[in-house]
Amino acid sequence: MEKKIPYKIYLEESELPRQWYNVRADMKNKPAPLLNPATLQPVTFEELRTIFCDELARQELNDTDAYIDIPKEIRDFYKMYRPSPLVRAYCLEKELDTPAKIYYKFEGNNTSGSHKLNSAIAQAYYAKEQGLTGVTTETGAGQWGTALSMACAYFHLDCKVYMVKVSYEQKPFRREVMRTYGASVTPSPSETTNVGRKILAEHPGTSGSLGCAISEAVEAASANPNYRYVLGSVLSQVLLHQSIIGLETKAALDKYDIQPDIIIGCAGGGSNLGGLISPFAGEMLRGEKQYQIIAVEPASCPSLTRGRFAYDFCDTGKVCPLSKMYTLGCDFIPSANHAGGLRYHGMSSVVSQLYADGLLEARSVEQTSVFAAAEQFARIEGILPAPESSHAIRVAIDEALKCKETGEEKTIVFGLTGTGYFDMVAYEKYNNGEMTDYIPTDEELEASFAKFPKVD
Ligand SMILES: *Cc1c(COP(=O)(O)O)cnc(C)c1O
């Protein structure tokens, strides 16, 4: 007999994973190595440790250990807001009148409001353990900066955040949350770094971009030997930390003998998606199971669906290592009317390689349809979702509606990465009917591809 599935599946505290899972260990085609931007040779541990703290540099380069212990100090912090619930969306299923079963893994149950805290606390811990005094970073929409501020406050580290200027102006409350947790917040591009001054001279009046804020944060970290730079997405170490999402999801599904058919995640830099799918992709890579995995990205920033798989710079200032990934080019900045987040030009090298090898598919969706899904979800399931997360909601609803057509009882799992309380300017645009969709033309993308670095 089928076990009655609770509305929310909460694991016990004792079931909180003790190790992260490193999907790279099970990949036959490993992600291509990061390259030193000056020599175009694979970066070494010695080079990486000038940017990242030592343990994180090791994790970044570790393609072989499948499991990595989560230190006790990090698990203790995780216990404050994890295990996070896996929720059966009974009300949404009823509303859609679909035979599909829909589950979402909810990562918005912490003050930062997203999954980013899972990696922030790990990165702050390793910096503290190494005796560093502070970290620098960039933030776009503000979730990462908020998460890092919380993590640094917990471990008594300084936290310097370069915030993309348009967000700094549009999201004053995010900024104040960060300052409440003790971080200093600078709008980027700024006059405080060489690269910021250079970008301002070349593009006066620019509203900034993530790639540009990254360059500033890296420069600020390298100016102080007791600081390191930390990054909230894209990197393989971040995917590793985010595997906690997938491990918990799998444990909760296994506990009730639930077999997912479709797993859906939104994809900006690829960290929540990569973390959610890691244990499932591992089963696929080992030939044990099959799943349909769907990455969802904005039509206005379509790195997987329309980008090229090539070595590219991770930042506009070209100071970070090069990564082989699906990319739109490091100068690509999504149209100013794009309000839905997921604005990064590239994609995690792990997710990129899995995509190139056919383990996952990608879909792009337009922002008005994303906000329509967000409102439908908010009204029936109660949670006000982040615009980023709503990309996954859109495709989960689309797949459930397909099941209604075909009568298939598929089990759909998607990642609900966060809440949207600080995104009300975007919701306001949608509610006023002022939101439009912009899809870059092939010419615009070609112009950006033409500037790829030459790597043989
Ligand atoms: C940052 C963020 C994302 C996108 O980042 P990924 O690295 O692609 O996961 C998605 N949802 C929320 C709520 C975020 O804060």
Q: Which of 339, 336, 340 is nearest to 389 (CA)?
A: 340
Locate the ligand 1 atom nearest the alpha carbon of residue 242 and give its number. Answer: 9
Confidence at residue 144, expressed as pLDDT on a 0 to 100 scale: 94
Q: Which residue has the tokens 């909230």?
A: 232
The tokens for 225 are: 């030997």
Expressed in angstroms and rounded, the spacing between residue 96 Cα and the centre of ligand 1 is 26
The tokens for 273 are: 């998606």
Report how far residue 313's alpha carbon sits from residue 399's, in angstroms, rounded to the nearest whole number.
35
Ligand 1 pocket, mutate which of 143, 245, 344, 360 (most atoms under 8 A from CB): 143
Q: Which of 391, 394, 387 is nearest to 427 (CA)?
A: 387
Q: Using DSSP, state whether 313 is helix, strand or coil.
A: strand
Q: Name the pairing type of β-strands 101-106 and 86-88.
A: antiparallel
Confidence at residue 3, expressed as pLDDT on a 0 to 100 scale: 66
Expressed in angstroms and rounded, the spacing between residue 407 Cα and the centre of ligand 1 is 32
Q: How far is CA 380 from CA 90, 93, 197, in A?
A: 10, 10, 48
Report how far residue 263's alpha carbon sits from residue 356's, in angstroms, rounded to the nearest whole number.
18
> Amino acid letter at 217?
A
The tokens for 157 are: 């580290």
Confidence at residue 431, expressed as pLDDT on a 0 to 100 scale: 97
Angle CA(233)–CA(238)–CA(242) in degrees, nearest 5? 105
Quick one: 222 exposed, middle or buried, by C-beta within 10 A (0-12, 13-18, 19+)? middle
Confidence at residue 421, expressed as pLDDT on a 0 to 100 scale: 93
- Give, as one character, the DSSP assignment of residue 396: H
State the angle between helix axes of 143-155 and 117-129 in degrees (0 to 180), rounded to the nearest 10: 40
Residues 6+ apart with CB under 8 A from 202: none
Task: Please check whether residue 285 is in contact with residue 343, taking contact to mean a CB–CB distance below 8 angstroms.
Answer: no
Task: Please check whether residue 27 is in contact with residue 353, taking contact to mean a CB–CB distance below 8 angstroms.
Answer: yes
Residues 6+ apart with CB under 8 A from 406: none
The tokens for 118 are: 């899972």
Ligand 1 pocket, mutate which of 115, 352, 395 (most atoms under 8 A from CB): 115
> Amino acid letter at 62?
N
Report how far residue 109's alpha carbon sits from residue 88's, in angstroms, rounded to the nearest whole number.
16
* Domain covering 19-70+115-229 assigned CATH 3.40.50.1100 in the classification: yes
For the chain, the residue count is 456
Residues 6+ apart with CB under 8 A from 431: none
CATH of domain 81-113+243-449: 3.40.50.1100
> Which amino acid residue places its CA nearest to atom 9 of ligand 1?
272
Task: Tell me which residues have their CB closer than 6 angstroms to ligand 1.
Answer: 114, 116, 143-144, 233, 266-273, 342, 386, 388-389, 417-418
| DSSP for 263-305, written as a single string | EEEE-SSSHHHHHHHHHHHHHHHTTS---EEEEEEETTS-HHH
> Which amino acid residue places its CA nearest to atom 13 of ligand 1?
418
Expressed in angstroms and rounded, the spacing between residue 103 Cα and the centre of ligand 1 is 19
Torsion of CA 403, 406, 408, 411, to 10 degrees: -20
Q: Decide whether 19-70+115-229 matches 81-113+243-449 in CATH topology.
A: yes
Average pLDDT per 10 consecutive residues for the chain, totaling 456 residues: 80 96 98 95 95 95 98 98 97 98 97 97 98 95 94 98 91 93 97 94 89 90 94 95 98 96 97 98 98 97 97 85 95 83 92 98 97 98 97 98 98 98 93 95 94 85
End-to-end CA distance of the chain: 58
Q: Using DSSP, state whether 262 is helix, strand or coil.
A: strand
| DSSP for 34-98, written as a single string | PB-TTT-SBPPHHHHTTTS-HHHHHHHH--S-SEEEPPHHHHHHHTTT-SPPEEE-HHHHHHHT-
Report how far residue 167's alpha carbon sits from residue 145's, in angstroms, rounded to the nearest whole number.
12
Q: How far is CA 169 from CA 163, 316, 379, in A?
A: 10, 21, 29
Q: Where are the domains of the chain?
A: 19-70+115-229, 81-113+243-449
Locate the ligand 1 atom nearest the alpha carbon of residue 113 and give its number. Answer: 13
Angle CA(315)–CA(321)–CA(322) in degrees, nearest 5? 80
